[in-house]
Structure 1
Amino acid sequence: MTDTPAYGLLGLVIINSAVFILFAASFTRLRTTRDWRSLGAFSAFIVALFAEMYGFPLTIYLLSGWLGRQFPGVDFFSHDAGHLLETMFGWRVNPHFGPFHIFSTVLIFGGFWLLAASWHVLYAAQRDQRLATSGPYAYVRHPQYVAFVVIMFGFLLQWPTLVTLAMFPILVWVYVRLAWREDAASHAAFGAAWDNYARTVPAFLPRLGLSSGPKVSRSGENSHD
């Protein structure tokens, strides 16, 4: 872990931020204010993450004294040592193949898969003006918000920073509030059909054994937004 310092790379900050933000945006079919807010919250997290990963390592600077005492001989201004969890738990392998990094990659790809599957179902429901209750919506009412949280948590495991650790619970709360507003709007628009769906399907955490959404009549179908 004595690589040359790998920071001050503004180009990589911009490129990586743009790639992940545009990749997420390609799934979301931005049509409502809630769509833009959910993507905006995710974008703020991504920019803060890559700003420290390749730009200015604020967390490393602030914790440099403690890190130096706890882990003597480690060059924390190298890119590899910036994967703090791998370093702090003593995994003496390339951090990109360490357990935290591998698990984070699974979460990130899984989150993007869930995001794509969710917005595909929601877009079809909006187009047909019906309630989205199939696919991921058969298990939770807000799979798109769950996906964003899973992706962000995956990045936290891969590259934890003080800024993103502080942002994470705030952004989770933002998504919870967006979900509440979406529920209120859906209740006002769909009435009994939405009430039946909401009683059967939880908001964020699927119930064990729940395999399909509620039976909703065609006359009561509509989209979430």
Structure 2
Amino acid sequence: MHSDAPAYGLWGLVILNSAIFIFFAYSFYKPATSRDWRSFSAFSAFLVALFAEMYGFPLTIYLLSGWLQSRFPGVDWFSHDAGHLLEMMFGWRVNPHFGPFHILSFVLIGAGFWLISSGWTKLYRAQRSRMLAIDGIYARIRHPQYDGFILVMLGFLFQWPTILTLAMFPVLVFMYVRLARSEEREALATFGEDYRAYMERVPGFIPRLRPAPPHDPARRRSF
């Protein structure tokens, strides 16, 4: 747990990692409307806050250092590995990158980016064809991209929880739900009963085991 290499103050890594993940998300999501940019900007702010503590200044460790040191005296809490709080607190004393919470975080982050990518691909094709995007991932949930952002953030919380990102997470989830409801009102105003029937068949955020049937008449409309 001890090393001569600096654990924090690596602001170049903060900028680099933030830029990589923000660009990665942008390439999957491709925001176009002002609503898209609001959701993407909020997600980007979460990433910057995360990497600022991961490589810049460990605010959470600093604020909790007294309690952590008294409860877990065998851990060097200002080493970089100790930032994986869940692994440390549950007694994973080997490389935390192979710990159960870290592995779970990779699964959630990967699933989140897959949802963002799948959702955008289907939506883009449907918009170009003037059809509702209700097949593929849209046959299971109405808002896969917002689900994807939530899963990515949740994955990072399992990997490197901080006070700031824990506080931001429920606020961002609430924001994404409101954005989804706004989109639905616009779709209802445009497509009426066709979209209402789609809403009744397909859940918004938590998928059912069986997707909506492919012969749904709403397939002839766009969203």
1:77 is displaced (CA, Å) by 1.0
Q: How does 1:115-134 map onto structure 2 within 5 Å?
A: 115-134=116-135
Q: Give the 4+ runs in structure 1 shifted more than 6 A.
A: none
Could you say if the C-alpha distance between residues 76 and 192 of structure 1 is closer, same or farther in structure 2, counting changes exceeding 3 Å?
same
Distance change >3 Å, CA 49–CA 212, structure 1 → 2: farther
Q: Give a deviation string over 1:13-71, Cα, whole Å, max 9, x none.
A: 00100111110111112221121111111101000000000001000100000011011
Q: TM-score, normalised to structure 2's length?
A: 0.96
For 1:89 and 1:174, the matched residues in 2 are separated by 32
Question: CA 1:116–1:96 in 2, change beyond 3 Å: closer, same or farther?
Answer: same
Tell me what 1:194 maps to.
195
Instruction: Measure how far apart 1:93 and its partner are.
Output: 1.6
Provide TM-score, normalisation by structure 1: 0.95
User: 1:217, CA displacement in angstroms?
Assistant: 4.9
Looking at structure 2, the residues matched to 38 and 212 of structure 1 have their Cα atoms a distance apart, in angstroms, of: 30
RMSD: 1.3
8 Å Cα contact 1:85-1:157 kept in structure 2 = yes
In structure 2, the partner of 1:136 is 137
CA separation of 1:162/1:214 partners in 2, compared to 1, >3 Å: closer, same or farther?
A: farther
Contact 1:197–1:214 at 8 Å: present in 2 too? no
Partner of 2:150: 149
CA distance in 2, matches of 1:96, 1:3: 17
In structure 2, how many angstroms separate the alpha carbons of the residues matched to 1:21 and 1:212? 35
Q: Is the 8 A contact 2:14 2:48 kept in 1?
A: yes
Q: Look up the equivalent residue of 2:139 and give its one-letter code.
A: A
Contact 1:139 1:213 (C-alpha < 8 Å) held by counterparts: no
**Unmatched segments (≥5 aa) in structure 2:** none
Aligned counterparts, 1:9-158, within 5 A: 9-158=10-159
| Cα distance between partner residues in 1 of 2:106 and 2:205 | 21
- SS, match of residue 217 in structure 2: coil
CA distance, structure 2, for counterparts of residue 201 and residue 214 of structure 1: 14
CA distance in 2, matches of 1:210, 1:217: 14
How much does 1:112 deviate?
0.7
CA distance in 2: counterparts of 1:6 and 1:158, whole angstroms? 17
Tell me if structure 2 keeps the 8 A contact 1:200–1:213. Answer: no
Letter in 1 for 2:2: T
The amino acid that maps onto 2:126 is A
C-alpha distance in structure 2 between counterparts of 1:75 and 1:168, whole Å: 28
- 3-state SS in 2 of match to 1:154: helix
Letter in 2 for 1:221: R
Contact 1:30 1:36 in 2 (8 A): yes
Asked if structure 2 preserves the Cα contact closer than 8 Å seen for 1:3 and 1:75, the reply is: no
Partner of 1:221: 221
State the Cα distance separating 1:213 from its structure 2 match. 5.5
- 1:72–1:217 Cα change, 3 Å: closer
Q: 2:218 & 2:184 partners in 1: Cα distance? A: 19
Counterpart Cα distance in 1 of 2:154 and 2:87: 16
Number of residues paired by the alignment? 222
Corresponding residue for 1:180?
A: 181
Residue of structure 1 in register with 2:7 after alignment: 6
